[in-house]
Amino acid sequence: MMEGKKEQEQVPPEHPREERTDKKKHGGKEGASELDGALKKVQEEAAEHYDRFLRVSADLENYKKRVSKEKADLIRYGNEELIKELLPVIDNLERALEHTASEGAQEGIADGVKMTLQQFIGILQRFGVTPVAAEGEPFDPTKHEAVMEQATGDYDPGQVVAELQKGYLLNDRLVRPAKVVVAKAPDDAESEKEEI
């Protein structure tokens, strides 16, 4: 039996504490690398979310600015349709004045129409409506609509000779272009006759 005890003594007993320590050391390296990987992944996700947050914030600011501008434009140009409807009334009043002056009608009618026209124009001016300058001005396709050309030596080519219908601006936006006659050089008229 003693031999059995010696054999048992010679074989070193297993030390559970040492195994746990080895496992902790070995598991610690694997655990740290797993934690480092998880940390990197979380940091990348956080960077993506932050980038998305910045983009959404910028989009929101742009949206707010656009809506604010659209609202301001709506307030500024909201009466455009009404004004388009009222402009023919001004045209008719102006024609009536021309008609009464040519036929020698009573001054009272002419004065009444003049006052009505002035009142009408005053109301429109308070709302930001102004006439487009045309006669004697250089032709501007953004404000004038050329109805015809007229050969003349009195005006430079491309200059407005006559205004057939007034154009109007609402603040800085064109509501209706002025219908105009544009000057062309007298030589152009002669060369066109020769070609025909």
The 10 Å CB-count burial string (b at 16+, else e) for 109-124 is ebeebeeebeeebeeb
Which segment, 4-13, 99-108, 186-195, is predicted with the most confidence on average?
A: 99-108
- Contact between 180 and 143 under an 8 Å Cβ cutoff? The reply is no
pLDDT tens track for 104-148: 566 667 777 788 888 888 888 888 889 988 888 888 888 888 898
Q: pLDDT of 84-103, one tens digit each?
A: 888 888 887 887 777 776 65
**What pLDDT, in 10s, does the model give residues 139-187?**
888 888 889 888 888 888 888 898 888 999 988 889 899 999 998 888 7
Assigned CATH for 130-196: 2.30.22.10
C-alpha 7/C-alpha 1 separation (Å) is: 10
Single-letter amino acid, residue 34: E
Q: Which range has the top average pLDDT, 8-12, 21-25, 179-183?
A: 179-183
Answer yes or no: is pLDDT of 14 > 80. Answer: no
pLDDT the model gives residue 196: 47
pTM recorded for the entire structure: 0.51
So what's the pLDDT on residue 102?
63
| Residue 52 pLDDT > 90 | yes
Q: What's the confidence (pLDDT) of residue 87?
A: 85
Three-state secondary structure readout of 120-152: HHHHHHHCCEEECCCCCCECCCCCEEEEEEEEC
Question: CB–CB of 144/156 below 8 Å?
Answer: no
